[in-house]
Amino acid sequence: MTFQETHVSDNTLSIINTQFQARYSMWTRHCGIVSFNPSFIFSDNLVPENDRIILTKVKHPYNAFEPFWLLVLYAPATSCQQRQQFFDHVLGLLHNKDLDINLDRLFITGGFNYSYLRPHLSSQTSLQWVSFLNDHFYNALMKDDLHEIPTFRRNETTYSTIDYIFVNQAFRTQVIESNLHKLDVS
């Protein structure tokens, strides 16, 4: 399970971990990953210097499956320029030879804070990032036509889809079902 826009603090971290009763979890101020399965072991965050990114390699304790990588993002919301720089930075990380990421086994989730459905996409994010996603990944929410359901609402008139789950094209046929659940804020 992945989270973004969490606002987790050191004071709330132990409470959150107790409530989830997770086997493994990883948190930054803006992102989180929780695993309830002992077969999914996380590496340390491969990008610890950026609290808007969690990148981890997920392994099985007895190598029952080939490792995969999980990237959780929470992009800046207020500045298009900051968002463009953020995604250019993420793209650079994914191509960093020192991190040794197998892009064929990468899953990307998070709050992108831009919408594919809006015109003028180039002013909202990095075009290199969009090309990278279009060339190598599949929006898993398209499986059951959930890609147009709003994931953000400011009031009764402002809403859009800004949160995504991408799987590498190699895994496209393995996406069986997609679903969205709105959490009760009370």
Q: Which domains does the chain have, with CATH numbers?
A: 2-174 (3.60.10.10)
pLDDT tens digit at each of 186 positions of the chain: 887 777 788 888 777 777 878 788 899 989 999 888 889 999 999 999 999 999 999 999 998 999 999 999 999 988 889 989 999 999 999 999 999 999 999 999 888 887 766 555 566 788 898 889 889 988 887 654 444 545 545 556 544 445 778 888 777 666 556 555 555 555
pTM (two decimals) = 0.81
Q: 3-class secondary structure for 80-113?
A: HHHHHHHHHHHHHHHCCHHHCCCHHHEEEEEECC
